[in-house]
């Protein structure tokens, strides 16, 4: 759905918070619900019935207004701004990806999120030359007017933030935006907050866990016009971020290194597979020149977010029952495009989307970026891994 850029009211913000914290509601499902119901308040009322029709027997866990108020109060105490995807300060590049966070939590200078950005990432156990190159590269990119994005990890990430402090840098955190990780970057974290910004999609106070880092990586690439990988071993988090960048239609750039250094194997493979080879900030600026434009200034007003252009057509229960059988027969643990489900089941797109939404909220299916969906295995359901990223 296309969101009109406008500030949320306090009541709407609490509704958004309750909806994204509801069980089995991830970013993709959130916006599908907003599209179908027109508002988060209406979606919250519809959740229990949707989950029941999808086959759920237990009540869906939905935060109360008091729960949402408590989280908002925690943000205010920590000086954290809660930024909704429809609001003018929300990063334009991030708003374009399928699984954008409905709410971002921001500490520091929010205006940096409106500037064009480039990610500079790499190995935690980086070489001295790699760290120095990352710092100089980030310094020159920020001096050219780009916000430098990275993940506040040790090694290349830390060097990139240090280099870009004077010109503007954003740290994307896996845990709460008020939680410093790793602890060795305590001083750097406070400098980033003072001179740049830190963001996260997880609640304040959340300690980072392994499952949070891939979600963090998709935000690093989603914020950026391009991702520069300075050093990366095989099977590293930096290569995961590069894959996210490709999926999101972002540019992937890499710094070549010695074949004898394991920290260069990942970057050399990226170059072999088509990433742009870069050796300076000038190379990065040239590669991204066609994407860089001045900051957009948009009016704060607009129509209500998520209001449907026309009422959703009424679907008879008998039709839905038949559609559920057809969709379930067509789904498996392997993701399939929803357009393919529509063609294969010979059902309307509205019918398939309704059934998929029911299955998601029942915890039986998950929607993935690229408009794909798959069934959740029993083991995933038991471990709580069945919500979209």
Domain at 106-288: CATH architecture: 3-Layer(aba) Sandwich (3.40)
Residues of the chain with CATH 3.40.50.450: 106-288
pLDDT computed for residue 378 by the predictor: 56
pLDDT computed for residue 368 by the predictor: 86
Residues in the chain predicted with pLDDT less than 70, given as ranges, are 1-2, 294-316, 378-389
pLDDT computed for residue 370 by the predictor: 81
pLDDT computed for residue 299 by the predictor: 40
Say whether 229 sits in a helix, a strand or coil. strand
Strands 251-254 and 336-337: unpaired
Q: Is the Cβ–Cβ distance between 231 and 126 less than 8 Å?
A: yes
317-383 topology per CATH: Arc Repressor Mutant, subunit A (1.10.10)
Cα–Cα distance measured from residue 195 to residue 162, given in angstroms and rounded to the nearest whole number: 11
In our burial notation (b when 16+ CB lie closer than 10 A, e otherwise), range 204-234 reads: bebebeeebbebbbbbbbbbbbbbbbbbbbe
Residues of the chain with CATH 1.10.10.10: 317-383
pLDDT computed for residue 1 by the predictor: 59
């Amino acid at each position: 759905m296309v969101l009109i850029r406008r500030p949320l009211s306090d009541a709407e913000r609490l509704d958004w918070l309750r909806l994204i914290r509801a069980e089995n509601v991830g970013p993709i499902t959130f916006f599908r619900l907003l599209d179908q119901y027109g508002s988060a308040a209406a979606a919250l009322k519809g959740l229990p019935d949707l989950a029941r029709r999808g086959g759920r027997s237990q009540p869906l866990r939905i935060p109360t207004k008091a729960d949402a108020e408590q989280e908002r109060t925690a943000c205010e105490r920590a000086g954290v701004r809660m930024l909704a995807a429809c609001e003018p300060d929300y990063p334009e590049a991030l708003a374009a990806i399928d699984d954008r966070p409905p709410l971002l939590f921001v500490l520091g200078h929010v205006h940096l999120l409106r500037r064009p950005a480039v990610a500079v990432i790499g190995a935690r156990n980086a070489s001295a030359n790699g760290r120095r190159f990352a710092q100089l590269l980030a310094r020159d990119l920020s001096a050219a007017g780009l916000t430098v994005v990275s993940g506040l990890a040790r090694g290349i990430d830390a060097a990139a933030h240090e280099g870009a402090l004077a010109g503007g840098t954003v740290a994307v955190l896996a845990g709460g935006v008020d939680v410093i990780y790793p602890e060795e970057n305590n001083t750097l974290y406070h400098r980033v907050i003072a001179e740049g910004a830190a963001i996260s999609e997880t609640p304040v106070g959340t300690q980072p866990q392994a499952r949070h880092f891939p979600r963090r990586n998709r935000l690093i690439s989603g914020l950026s016009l391009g991702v520069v990988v300075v050093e990366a071993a095989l099977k590293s988090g930096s290569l995961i971020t590069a894959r996210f960048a490709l999926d999101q239609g972002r540019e992937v750039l890499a710094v070549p290194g010695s074949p004898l250094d394991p920290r260069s194997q990942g970057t050399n493979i990226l170059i072999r597979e088509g990433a742009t080879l870069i050796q300076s900030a000038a190379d990065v600026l040239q590669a991204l020149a066609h994407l860089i434009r001045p900051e957009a200034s948009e009016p704060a007003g607009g129509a209500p977010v998520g209001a449907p252009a026309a009422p959703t057509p009424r679907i008879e229960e008998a039709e839905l029952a038949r559609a559920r059988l057809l969709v379930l027969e067509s789904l498996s643990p392997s993701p399939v495009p929803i357009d393919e489900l529509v063609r294969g089941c010979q059902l309307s797109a509205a019918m398939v989307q309704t059934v998929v939404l029911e299955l998601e909220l029942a915890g039986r299916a998950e929607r993935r970026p690229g408009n794909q969906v798959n069934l959740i295995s029993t083991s995933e359901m038991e471990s709580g891994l069945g919500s979209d990223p």
